A and B are shown apart, each in its own frame.
Chain A
Amino acid sequence: MVQRFQLFLRGLATNWTGTTGVVLTTSAFLLFVFMELLRISGIITNSYVGLLTYMILPLLFLVGLVLIPIGWRKFRRVSGKSLDEMLHDRFPDNMVRSRGLGSNLIGLIAVLTVVNVMFFGLGGARMLHFMDGPEFCGTACHKVMNPEWVAYQNSPHAHVRCIDCHVGEGAGALIDAKLNGLWQIVSATFDLYERPIPTPVHNLRPARETCEKCHWPDKFYGERIKRMTRFDFDETSAPRYTTLALKVGSGTGAESGTIHWHIAATNEVRYQAIDEKRLTMAWVEVRKGDEFHRYVNVKLAANALADTTRSESWPAPRSVDCVDCHNRATHIYQESEPAVDAVLAAGRIDRQLPYAKKVALGALLGAYADKDAALIGIDNEVRGYYQREQPQTFVTHGRQLDVMVTELQAIYARNIHPTMNIGWNSYASHIGHRHQAGCFRCHNQNLVDERGQTIPYDCTLCHSILAYDSATPFQFLTQPDEQDPDRKMHLYLQSEFLESVP
């Protein structure tokens, strides 16, 4: 049997083209089977191998299959023989001898065709499945996608597949995604892409189709108390708390005035940004019944920068959905100071190290040429500082310094990607308003309606404040000092929170 198969293969390999085809097809098939066996038996766990098994091997298999008939055509042209003569020439007589249901050769080809079809069915399915997996998206175009891949793996959505948000469901979405993917292959191959990749992504699936599969608008409710800890630059890296009660809510019923009012099913907010980044608004409008109530950017109008209703260079108007605020829900890049504060708060950098916050942030923000230089530079900065300025600590706290260096290097590696020109704050988050416009893109003094009313932008509209840069996390829930100049604010914030419960 094996011998007969060998004879068959040898017969197929008419010339160099045919031989290459036979070798490619056969070895690709055998390797595929081998790799699958390794995977199933658990010997191979590296998902990166999928690129070989499910992308490259089926491709080679196909190329080989195509080469074989090309080889035959060439053979016929060169030899000038008829098909019958060629068959007798290439294969043993008993193989081509006519039988009841056709010759042995026909039978073998029939069997192999079934095997091929099965292989393509299985391989194709495995390939599509593999391409649906985050590993494919994150690693296939390694250089381009690595920053997002790293951010994604550290995100709250690390267990949600890329395609669940970026592709969506149905044949149409699949075809769109594959066509888009073809262009990405071209742009990655010929280096046509921008660094960093510009955002927002315009062909993202509508949030109503994707986010809301898991996050029901009607299920958002109540207030969320968020405590943010910032550490001082003093010797003890003393903690400072800002505590907010975010009025998240569902935007309906008793919670109609809350943050998720923007996306409640009964409401619609539209806006016209003047820039692709959607940072400056020409107008914002809110549906009231059948009509839209519009707020126009009077600053733009006053500076005569443009007609405030429409300009050719502006992106299309948008209706607010999840991603207008949650624009980095998954691909989260930390800012430098909050990143350091987070590891300090988690106790991963030891605050017993004098000036830990100051040294950590300084090391992180050094000007480094590339990632390797940065990792070495961070190490040198930290150890150099303690060796020079705090020699006692340097001796007694060696282990804590090791951890500090490792943590800072990890922060750097997670957030900074020099090859893609991604530095600190390359991708600003619109959530909140710490160091970027965020909420204030629309909630600001320049957006005014025809009666001269602005969109409200006061602090307690969206959150109560329980502490502001304070030594205690619930500063304003305590009684104020009679002598404190901030007393009135203290009392106001206290009652605002206590009375804000619907």
Chain B
Amino acid sequence: MKRVIIACAIVTLLVTGMAVAADETVAGKCMTCHKEKSPGLYNQWYASAHARHGVTCYDCHQAAKGEIDAYDHEGASIATLVTPRDCGRCHEKETREVESSHHATAALILESKDAYLAHAGGGYPAVVMGCESCHGGKVEIDPNSPNKLSLTSWPNSGIGRLNPDGSKGACSACHTRHAFAKAQARRPEACSKCHLGPDHPQKEIYEESKHGNAFYTHVDQMNLAADRWIVGTDYFEAPTCATCHLSATANQPVTHDVGNRLSWNLRAPVSKRMADWAQKRKHMQDVCVNCHGQRFVDGHYYQLDAFVNLYNEKFAKPATQIIGLIKEKGLLEQPAAFANDIEWEYWELWHHEGRRARHGAAMMGPDYTWWHGIYDMTHNFYFKFLPAARAFGDPGVDALIDEVMQDPMHTWFNRPTADIKADIRSGKLPEVYQHLFTQK
């Protein structure tokens, strides 16, 4: 029996030894050429944690013969595309979390209005280089392409990329190749390739906020490259996007599910609380309290909830109801979506202005909350959207608008300025909004 065990052990050692040797030969050969041919890429890797731990080209780019995107490259079977499944060979937990996160579904937006507008109004190249570069595209196989990938769908490192191996996502969307530096992913710039601009200016809001202000002041003291990065322990100067949404606290581990700490859906036309929102809010507050007192945190959420309710009740719900009725009655002149002016007014109301306002409030960027947010919405709602709706001259639509305008939040529109100012001073007008603070 003992001999059998020893023999088995020897065989196992030999086989693993040979496998390791084969891998070394292949990787060594890759490195030989790419050190000269791709010195930038090579040196990024050389200075990386991957290199320090002996993870080389072939560990990530290997592909079994027969895999749909595998091709023969100088005697090695490899794939250009490294998918979460490849990364998951080592980073098992992270891959699992990403695959069940909202990020992984980003490419499924192809059926949504965003992609419709870009496809129909813009054009396919704009979809590929615009939408799909953030959301991820479906990477197609071209048997005639040297690396088997169709050039119309690759390069693509959108976060929800639909990979030929069936997996969803691209780790490199945040973890920039080939350094895969922790510091890079922890900095706000990692997110701001996509989270910026007129429809979701998270980057700009962060820069405006005290959080961003403190970060750019203390960036050099923040231990960004440290292996362990627990807020309050390993750094405390400022939070980055990663700090609040992903990184570890003393009580919870780092997560790759970006929605794990979000209690509101601030993207939708009408905001709703996320499933299991209370638990998620607890996760977020667990981050906040490292730097803020609990009362401060409670106050922030008290104000934020009221703000989101304001958005919903005063603008989003009435506007959605009105445009719904117009469509239902077939009043739109052109049959295609977005071929009518009022659809653009409504779209910008919630998708641009409304998101700017909600994100601004959630991330404590006052200018985005008001001037880029509710201010723009107010102007749009009263002077573009409602006039465009009234222009149909439809009695049903007009009746609905009249009903909306009866709401105490809207009645100011037909009153003298002096009266309104008096109501503000007396507290009567703020009182109109008081119910939003307690509403769940």
- Determine if A453 and B72 form an interchain contact, defined as CB atoms under 8 angstroms apart: yes
Other-chain contact of A298, B32, B33, B45, B146 (Cβ < 8 Å): B146
Cα-based distance from A446 to B147 in the complex (angstroms): 11
Set of chain B residues within 8 Å of A448, measured between Cβ atoms: 146
Set of chain B residues within 8 Å of A458, measured between Cβ atoms: 29, 32-33, 74-75
Q: Smallest distance from the beta carbon of A392 to chain B beta carbons, Å?
A: 36
- Determine if B24 and A488 form an interchain contact, defined as CB atoms under 8 angstroms apart: yes
Q: Write out, one digit per residue, whether chain B residues 270-314 have a CB within 8 A of any chain A CB (1) or not (0).
A: 000000000000000000000000000000000000000000000
Set of chain A residues within 8 Å of B32, measured between Cβ atoms: 458-460, 465, 489, 492-493
Does B52 make an interface contact (CB < 8 A)? yes
- Determine if B28 and A493 form an interchain contact, defined as CB atoms under 8 angstroms apart: yes
A232-281, CB < 8 A from B: none
CB closest chain-B residue, reference A495: B25
Q: Smallest distance from the beta carbon of B144 to chain A beta carbons, Å?
A: 7
A446-490, CB < 8 A from B: 446, 448, 452-454, 456-460, 465, 468, 483, 485-490
- Determine if B28 and A485 form an interchain contact, defined as CB atoms under 8 angstroms apart: no
- Determine if B24 and A492 form an interchain contact, defined as CB atoms under 8 angstroms apart: yes
- Determine if B28 and A492 form an interchain contact, defined as CB atoms under 8 angstroms apart: yes
CB closest chain-A residue, reference B33: A459
CB closest chain-A residue, reference B51: A485
Q: Smallest distance from the beta carbon of A267 to chain B beta carbons, Å?
A: 22
CB closest chain-B residue, reference A492: B28
Does B363 make an interface contact (CB < 8 A)? no
Set of chain B residues within 8 Å of A490, measured between Cβ atoms: 28
Q: Smallest distance from the beta carbon of A420 to chain B beta carbons, Å?
A: 33
Cα-based distance from A446 to B33 in the complex (angstroms): 17
Does B236 make an interface contact (CB < 8 A)? no
Set of chain A residues within 8 Å of B144, measured between Cβ atoms: 298, 302, 452
Q: Write out, one digit per residue, whether chain B residues 102-126 have a CB within 8 A of any chain A CB (1) or not (0).
A: 0000000000000000000000000
CB closest chain-B residue, reference A457: B74
Q: Smallest distance from the beta carbon of B334 to chain A beta carbons, Å?
A: 37
Set of chain A residues within 8 Å of B326, measured between Cβ atoms: none
Does A419 make an interface contact (CB < 8 A)? no
- Determine if A468 and B36 form an interchain contact, defined as CB atoms under 8 angstroms apart: yes
Interface-central residue, B28, B29, B74, by most chain A CB under 10 Å: B28
Set of chain A residues within 8 Å of B45, measured between Cβ atoms: 485
Cα-based distance from A454 to B145 in the complex (angstroms): 12
Q: Smallest distance from the beta carbon of A331 to chain B beta carbons, Å?
A: 28
B35-72, CB < 8 A from A: 35-36, 45-46, 51-52, 54, 56, 71-72
Q: Write out, one digit per residue, whether chain B residues 137-153 have a CB within 8 A of any chain A CB (1) or not (0).
A: 00000011010000100
- Determine if A489 and B74 form an interchain contact, defined as CB atoms under 8 angstroms apart: no
Does B31 make an interface contact (CB < 8 A)? yes
Does B27 make an interface contact (CB < 8 A)? yes
CB closest chain-A residue, reference B30: A489
| Count, chain B residues at interface, CB 8 A | 24
Cα-based distance from A491 to B31 in the complex (angstroms): 11
- Determine if B28 and A489 form an interchain contact, defined as CB atoms under 8 angstroms apart: yes
- Determine if A446 and B146 form an interchain contact, defined as CB atoms under 8 angstroms apart: yes
Set of chain B residues within 8 Å of A465, measured between Cβ atoms: 32
- Determine if A459 and B24 form an interchain contact, defined as CB atoms under 8 angstroms apart: no
- Determine if B46 and A488 form an interchain contact, defined as CB atoms under 8 angstroms apart: no
Cα-based distance from A495 to B25 in the complex (angstroms): 9
CB closest chain-A residue, reference B45: A485
Q: Write out, one digit per residue, whether chain A residues 175-204 have a CB within 8 A of any chain B CB (1) or not (0).
A: 000000000000000000000000000000
Cα-based distance from A448 to B151 in the complex (angstroms): 17
Set of chain A residues within 8 Å of B143, measured between Cβ atoms: 452
- Determine if A491 and B24 form an interchain contact, defined as CB atoms under 8 angstroms apart: yes
Set of chain A residues within 8 Å of B71, measured between Cβ atoms: 452
Set of chain B residues within 8 Å of A446, measured between Cβ atoms: 146
Q: Smallest distance from the beta carbon of B429 to chain A beta carbons, Å?
A: 66
CB closest chain-B residue, reference A490: B28
Set of chain B residues within 8 Å of A453, measured between Cβ atoms: 72
Does A445 make an interface contact (CB < 8 A)? yes
Interface-central residue, A456, A459, A490, A496, by most chain B CB under 10 Å: A459
Set of chain B residues within 8 Å of A486, measured between Cβ atoms: 31, 35, 46
- Determine if B35 and A468 form an interchain contact, defined as CB atoms under 8 angstroms apart: yes
Cα-based distance from A496 to B146 in the complex (angstroms): 26
Cα-based distance from A493 to B75 in the complex (angstroms): 16
Q: Write out, one digit per residue, whether chain A residues 299-316 have a CB within 8 A of any chain B CB (1) or not (0).
A: 000100000000000000
B1-46, CB < 8 A from A: 24-25, 27-29, 31-33, 35-36, 45-46
Q: Smallest distance from the beta carbon of B33 to chain A beta carbons, Å?
A: 5
Q: Smallest distance from the beta carbon of A137 to chain B beta carbons, Å?
A: 39
Set of chain B residues within 8 Å of A483, measured between Cβ atoms: 52
Set of chain A residues within 8 Å of B28, measured between Cβ atoms: 488-493
Set of chain B residues within 8 Å of A454, measured between Cβ atoms: 146
Q: Smallest distance from the beta carbon of A284 to chain B beta carbons, Å?
A: 16
Cα-based distance from A146 to B56 in the complex (angstroms): 52
CB closest chain-B residue, reference A446: B146
Cα-based distance from A493 to B25 in the complex (angstroms): 9
CB closest chain-A residue, reference B55: A485
- Determine if B31 and A445 form an interchain contact, defined as CB atoms under 8 angstroms apart: no
Set of chain A residues within 8 Å of B146, measured between Cβ atoms: 298, 445-446, 448, 454
CB closest chain-B residue, reference A468: B35
Cα-based distance from A456 to B72 in the complex (angstroms): 11
Set of chain B residues within 8 Å of A456, measured between Cβ atoms: 74
B55-99, CB < 8 A from A: 56, 71-72, 74-75
Known: A298-B144, A445-B146, A454-B146. A488 touches B56 (CB 8 A): yes
Cα-based distance from A465 to B36 in the complex (angstroms): 12
CB closest chain-B residue, reference A242: B36
CB closest chain-B residue, reference A454: B146
Cα-based distance from A298 to B31 in the complex (angstroms): 26
Set of chain A residues within 8 Å of B33, measured between Cβ atoms: 458-459
Cα-based distance from A491 to B56 in the complex (angstroms): 14
Cα-based distance from A318 to B24 in the complex (angstroms): 40
Cα-based distance from A279 to B52 in the complex (angstroms): 40
CB closest chain-A residue, reference B143: A452
CB closest chain-B residue, reference A494: B28
Set of chain A residues within 8 Å of B51, measured between Cβ atoms: 485
Q: Smallest distance from the beta carbon of B318 to chain A beta carbons, Å?
A: 54
Q: Smallest distance from the beta carbon of B249 to chain A beta carbons, Å?
A: 33
Q: Smallest distance from the beta carbon of A391 to chain B beta carbons, Å?
A: 37
Q: Write out, one digit per residue, whether chain B residues 170-199 have a CB within 8 A of any chain A CB (1) or not (0).
A: 000000000000000000000000000000
Cα-based distance from A454 to B144 in the complex (angstroms): 12
A280-336, CB < 8 A from B: 298, 302
A410-460, CB < 8 A from B: 445-446, 448, 452-454, 456-460
Set of chain A residues within 8 Å of B36, measured between Cβ atoms: 459, 468
Q: Write out, one digit per residue, whether chain A residues 156-176 have a CB within 8 A of any chain B CB (1) or not (0).
A: 000000000000000000000
- Determine if B31 and A488 form an interchain contact, defined as CB atoms under 8 angstroms apart: yes
- Determine if B74 and A488 form an interchain contact, defined as CB atoms under 8 angstroms apart: no
Other-chain contact of B27, A459, A489, A495, A496 (Cβ < 8 Å): A489
Question: 24 A-B residue contacts at CB 8 Å?
Answer: A298-B144, A302-B144, A445-B146, A446-B146, A452-B143, A458-B32, A458-B33, A458-B74, A458-B75, A459-B36, A465-B32, A468-B35, A468-B36, A485-B54, A486-B31, A486-B35, A488-B24, A488-B28, A489-B27, A489-B31, A489-B32, A490-B28, A492-B32, A493-B32
Give the 3 A-B residue pairs with the shortest CB-CB distance, closest first: A492-B28, A485-B51, A489-B31
Interface residues of B (CB under 8 A from A): 24-25, 27-29, 31-33, 35-36, 45-46, 51-52, 54, 56, 71-72, 74-75, 143-144, 146, 151
Given contacts A488-B54, A493-B28, 17 further A-B contacts (CB under 8 A): A298-B144, A452-B143, A453-B72, A460-B32, A465-B32, A483-B52, A485-B51, A486-B31, A486-B35, A486-B46, A487-B54, A488-B24, A492-B25, A492-B27, A492-B29, A492-B31, A496-B29
